[in-house]
Amino acid sequence: MLMTNTFTMKTWDEKIVDGPEDGPRFAHAHCTFDYQGLIEGSSVCDYLLYYPGEGPAPGFERITGSVDGRKGSFVIRHEVGYSAHGVRGTFTVVPGSGTGELTGLSGVGTIEGASETMSYTFAYQL
């Protein structure tokens, strides 16, 4: 059986940190997501964005819920590229960030999509 892994943006609050509206600038985005599939749960994420450009946009995200039925939380570090055509990126579990049944979690993944619901992959070890 093929599992569909998706996450959906619930909130996106973006504010310019510095730079003119019509010129080079960077912004901070605070957002929340809901996960379905291998990861089940919700998250809080912060990105640093640069405009004009297509990334990279580094970010940290804390996911609370479960991975393959094991409950806990963990933090991932993003490197995301973005354009008018969508978002693509990779993420890595921050070493030592797992809690509960996810203590010791490590892994890497990808994200991709062009809407509020995007797909992800996640290869992990416990």
Q: Which helix (H) or strand (E) holds 47?
A: strand 39-51
Question: What token pair was written down for 36?
Answer: 């379905």
- What does the pLDDT read at residue 47? 93
- Residue count of the chain, please give it: 126
pLDDT reading at 104 higher than 60 = yes
Examine the pLDDT at 69 and tell me if it is beyond 50: yes
State the residue for tokens 């909130």.
Answer: 11
What is the arithmetic mean of pLDDT over 34-50?
95
pTM of the model: 0.90
